[in-house]
Amino acid sequence: MQKRKLGNSGLEVSALGLGCMGLSFGLGPATEKNEAIKLIRAAYDNGVTFFDTAEAYGPFANEEVVGEALAPVRDKVVIATKFGFNNGVPTQGTDSTPERIKVVAEASLKRLHTDRIDLFYQHRVDPNVPVEEVAGTVKDLIQQGKVKHFGMSEAGAATVRRAHAVQPVTALQSEYSLWWREPEMEILPTLEELGIGFVPFSPLGKGFLTGAISEKTEFDKTDFRNIVPRFAAGARKANQALVDALGKIADQKEATKAQIALAWLLAQKPWIVPIPGTTKLHRLQENLGGAEVQLTTDDLKAIREAVLAIDVQGERYPASFQSLVNR
């Protein structure tokens, strides 16, 4: 697989990473540990060198699985994890106090079976702690050799600038896909100006852009999508038009909808590295094939025109989550 560099930091990773959250958290029952390890190692065997986890995924269980899976190849991969929630539990609110950041770093190092965190993200901006203080704390961890790079997640452009002035931000991780293009307005220009990489999560619209989800799909009771307005049955029915349009283009390119969606993201900027997640080996293989799809200028124009013609229905987060994003 081709490699990419996250902005001006010099941090080189595979063009597609693996988002590991769904193996332990958020999208139904956790994958059995040995099966999860098998999938992570299969990703590595197929060229993936960038793996994304967080203390909040489980909480804690996902870091342990990722750490065990990658221990044999630790020096050949880049592991990203995150801090920023009280006790590692998103529903308990944010906590990016310096003391908490240091505690999370030490605990994550142990769970990941490593002596350094390659990329340490603030999971969500904490309104009670100045971002300069957060950046300064991570800067100290970098100077101690416990962390290599600082990242942020779902932060607004102004906040990224403030943090970057204290400790250079290597990457911003936020949602970006063919059905959520808001980052194009302010985030992408800011990152390009500052030389910061962009790591889109949910690049396949939490599975919707693959075409595997319809208005009749029933999610497991533990699946986060049950409370997401964009996944309400009516919204899914309306949003099927986007999947259908994607399918026409995929057929022309002899690719799948997922591969076109990922290829489109890769074509936007050379410093964008999507991290699709999956629990299935055949989906992993399919997703990685997206890095091989070459979209022409005409292809990109056709995709853009198709997307602009469709008004995606439903908010991407429930109202209770809105305050956590784009601060």
> Which ranges in the chain belong to alpha helices (H)?
33-45, 61-70, 98-111, 131-143, 157-166, 187-194, 233-253, 257-268, 281-289, 297-308
Residues 280/287, Cβ–Cβ less than 8 Å? no
Angle between helices 98-111 and 61-70 (to 10 degrees): 40
Q: Position of tokens 């439903």?
A: 314
Q: Is the peptide bond before 59 cis (omega within 30 degrees of 0)?
A: yes
Distance between CA atoms of 80 and 244, rounded to whole angstroms?
A: 34
Q: Which residues are registered as beta bridge partners of 177?
A: 180
User: Is there a contact between 233 and 201 (Cβ–Cβ < 8 Å)?
Assistant: no
**3-class DSSP assignment, residue 193:** helix
Helix (H, G, I), strand (E, B) or coil at 173: strand
> Which residue, among 173, 184, 66, has the nearest Cα to 119 in the 3D structure?
173
Q: Catalytic annotation on 44?
A: no
Given the residues 44, 57, 121, 317, select the one marked as catalytic.
57
Output helix, strand, coil percentages for the chain, rounded to the nearest 5: 50, 15, 35
* Interatomic CA distance for residues 23 and 166, integer angstroms: 34
Indicate if the alpha-carbon torsion angle 146, 151, 155, 161 is positive or negative: positive
Helix/strand/coil for 203: coil
Backbone φ, ψ for residue 52 (5° rounding): -115, 130
Question: Which residues are the active-site residues?
Answer: 57
